[in-house]
Amino acid sequence: MALRAMVVGAGSAGEGHAMALRQAGAEVVAIASRTASVVGALAARLGIPVASTDWRATLRELRPDIVAVATPGDSHAAIIDEALAAGAHLYVDKPFAPTAAEARRLWAATKSAGVRSAYAATSNYQPSALLARALVAEGAIGELLEAEFVSHYHWHERLPHGWPHRLADGGGRLNNNFTHKLAIAESVCGGATLAVAGETRNDLGRAPIVPFPHDFRDWTRALVPEEQARAARWGEVDSDWSYTVLARIGAPGSDPAAAPSVTFRHSCLRKGKHQDYVAFYGRTGTIHVDQAYCQGDVHLWREGEAGFSVVPMRADILASLPPVEAQPHWAPGWDVPARAWNALARDFVADIEGRAHAPYFTLADGLRHQEVIDAVRARSGWSAVPAA
């Protein structure tokens, strides 16, 4: 009998989690969200039998095997607590929780409950990230010494005020951009973050208060016209919109000083001249991957070669990833996160069912990521990252 899953949240992540769990073999029996029209439309489109605006009542009534948490970070704790009380396994989007203290409490409760958990910082499943990992593991650039992640987005100051602008709601670029990059870095480096330092900057200050789109995909396109923005009230913004993070990533328990160093640099308001990229530098060569989350081509240079060459994508890597059931309403590029959600759900469901599976990020990793984020926001210099 198939595992029964319930999804809480009906935005882009809720849709993606529902489709991923279904493709992995689970039966999605319910989806819940605060807005009846939104959750009803999504349930109808995906053929989910129960569309609810009361997730607590639905969870207690249906007692699903899996609860997928696809809401902003401030609501995760309540949903996770109720799901654990019902004995459900957890598929949780990033950030795990708004603070490391809350993440520690929730991870302790998850371990005590003895359930499986998946943490959906999923860009490590990008084909180009998997290719970079394979090249590093094969010694294509010799001993890995350092890596860097550089990106500059152009998200306008007049986007509607909402959860991305509030740290207490799980907003900020560290929670929602850096987590994906850290997942890639740890995957390619083959380790965990051991020590970290950094700083953040709030370049925004405030944003216009107008109706906030339900779906995050719509928010990034919902620029408030100047005249409407002048007439609107403006809300305070306390979340980070730029960050610089220095990390040491290596085998758990190893000496951070001997681990590869990784630099993360991101800002969200001003477009850069050069393409966003990820790079890995070894003792005998360099891997350069186009775009912020390794969505683009992989380039390789090695000592003795005149320049960089494009590394063809390997058929075995593409074959290792589940397919994507594209939807007509998706904007260009939304197959990318969908494929990653599918891959995580495949490994997670296989683990619950006792089948063979690839390693995947759990809420223990989500806790480590939140420890890193809290240390960066504290600006306390180099800090050791505790193990979960």
pLDDT tens column, 171-208: 999 999 999 999 999 999 999 999 999 999 999 999 99
Give the model's pLDDT for residue 125.
Answer: 96
- % of the chain at pLDDT higher than 70: 100
Q: How confident is the model at residue 219, as a pLDDT? A: 86
Residue 231's alpha-carbon distances to 156, 221, 227, in angstroms, are: 17, 20, 7
Cβ atoms of 269 and 154 within 8 Å: the answer is: yes
What was the pLDDT predicted at 333? 76
Q: What b/e readout covers 97-133, taking b as 16+ CB neighbours within 10 angstroms?
A: bbbbebbbbbbebbeebebbbbbbbbbbbbbbbbbbb
Q: For position 267, what pLDDT does the model report?
A: 95
Q: In the chain, which segments carry CATH 3.30.360.10?
A: 123-320
User: What's the confidence (pLDDT) of residue 242?
Assistant: 97
Q: CA triplet 375, 111, 84: central angle to 5 degrees?
A: 105
Residue 327, pLDDT score:
81
Per DSSP, 63 falls in state: -
pTM of the model: 0.96
Is the domain defined by 123-320 classed in CATH 3.30.360.10? yes
pLDDT of residue 338: 87
Rg (CA), the chain: 21
Say what the pLDDT of residue 337 is: 84
Provide CATH 3.40.50.720 ranges for the chain. Answer: 4-120
Ranges of the chain whose pLDDT falls below 50:
none
Domain range 4-120, its CATH number among 3.90.1170.50, 3.40.50.720, 1.10.8.60, 1.20.1440.230: 3.40.50.720
The pLDDT assigned to 276 comes to 97
- C-alpha 56/C-alpha 140 separation (Å) is 51
Separation CA 82–CA 106 (nearest Å): 11
pLDDT value at residue 218: 87
99, 159 Cβ separation under 8 angstroms? no
